[in-house]
Structure 1
Amino acid sequence: MDADELKRRRNALGLTQAAFAERLGVHRDTINALERSARPITEQMALAIAALRPMPLDAKPKSENDLERVIETALIDAGIRYVGDRDGQNPSALDFRLLDFDVEIEVKRFYTARTGEQMARASNVIAVQGEKAVRFLAAAIRSGDFLDLAAAHPRPATTR
């Protein structure tokens, strides 16, 4: 891990240097020095940084659909900010818009005739169909892989 990757991970977690340092049990000056490459990042520190996960959101699932609720609960558990279609906050009216990723998720139990029309509402859509696929995606969300994606692909400037 290098200084740039460390900073990307800290930003993906949405943490200040002080909050990042607290989560790692070190002083803020240590994080500052690591980000400036003034101190080397030890293997132990790199492993501790890689193990950090976002804090769960302070929210409760609102979805009435059982499959949508599985995804929504996973997003909450993983600390991924989103808006849903139930509260009218998502202009595309797809099930979920992941605010920090510029990605939307549409959950389907089965393929329907309107699925194609729904997919055309947004340019970046994950369509997940069927209970097994929904549970698989929920597990992937909880695993922290989304944090790795956020670190590799910084947030769009419009959502900061």
Structure 2
Amino acid sequence: MDDAELRARRKALRLTQTQFADALGLHRNSIGQMERGQAAIEPRTAAAVRALKPAPLDRKPTLSDPMERLIEQALIDAGIRFTTDQGGETESRLDFHLIDYGIEIEVKRFFTVRTGEQIARAPSVILAQGEVAVRFLAEAIRSGDFVLMTLTEAQQQSVSSLHRARRELYTDAL
């Protein structure tokens, strides 16, 4: 892990340097130095950073459909902000809209003829069809590392560019 990834992960978790330092058991000055490349990021610190996940959302499940409720609870547990089609909250009228990802989720117990029409309403849709698939998706959401997915494309390119530049400097130095 380098300074750019450390900073990107902190920002994706929506934490200040002080909050990040507290979560890692470090001083905020240490975080600042690591983010500026002035201090080494120890392997144990990198492992602790990768283990950090967003806090669960402060909300209760509201959906009555048991399949949709599985996904709703997983999103809450994973700290992923979302809206639902309940009350017309999602523009696409699909079951879930993941606010920070621009992804919609449609949950189906069984195949229906309108499924194709439904998933055509949005450019990025995850279709979970069948109880096993819905339970699998719920566990993947709950246990997955979604932190880096919140980075903008520009931030991801910046991290990649920094890695390339460092490799080139190292290669030139040899």
Q: Same fold (TM over 0.5)?
A: yes
Q: TM-score when scaled to structure 1?
A: 0.91
Distance 1:39 1:69 in 2: 45
Q: Give the equivalent residue in structure 1 for 2:35.
A: 35
- CA gap 1:49/1:153 in 2 versus in 1, 3 angstroms: farther
Shift of 1:99: 0.7
Which amino acid in the other structure matches residue 84 of structure 1?
T
Q: Give the equivalent residue in structure 1 for 2:90.
A: 90
Distance 2:25 2:145 in 1: 23
Q: Is the 8 A contact 2:82 2:96 kept in 1?
A: yes
Distance 1:80 1:13 in 2: 11
Greater Cα offset, 104-113 or 13-22: 13-22
Shift of 1:64: 0.8
Q: Is the 8 A contact 1:128 1:134 kept in 2?
A: yes
Q: Is the 8 A contact 2:8 2:148 kept in 1?
A: no
Distance 2:104 2:10 in 1: 23
Q: Give the equivalent residue in structure 1 for 2:104.
A: 104
Aligned length: 155
Distance 1:32 1:97 in 2: 34
Q: Give the equivalent residue in structure 2 for 1:132.
A: 132
Q: TM-score when scaled to structure 2?
A: 0.84
- Alpha-carbon displacement from aligned partner over 1:95-120 (angstroms, at most 9, x marks no partner): 11111111110001111111111111
- CA gap 1:87/1:29 in 2 versus in 1, 3 angstroms: farther
Where does the alignment leave 5 or more consecutive residues of structure 2 unmatched?
Answer: 156-174
Q: Give the equivalent residue in structure 2 for 1:63.
A: 63
Identity, in percent, stands at: 55
Greater Cα offset, 86-95 or 122-131: 86-95
Q: Is the 8 A contact 1:82 1:97 kept in 2?
A: yes
Q: Which has the larger radius of gyration?
A: 2
Distance 1:36 1:120 in 2: 44
Q: Is the 8 A contact 1:53 1:144 kept in 2?
A: no
Q: Give the equivalent residue in structure 2 for 1:158.
A: none
Shift of 1:12: 1.6
Q: Is the 8 A contact 2:53 2:145 kept in 1?
A: no
Give SS of 2:10's match: helix
Shift of 1:40: 0.7
Distance 2:15 2:75 in 1: 18
Q: Is the 8 A contact 1:84 1:97 kept in 2?
A: yes
Give SS of 2:147's match: helix
Distance 2:111 2:89 in 1: 25
- Alpha-carbon displacement from aligned partner over 1:28-80 (angstroms, at most 9, x marks no partner): 11111111111010001001101111110000111110000000000000000
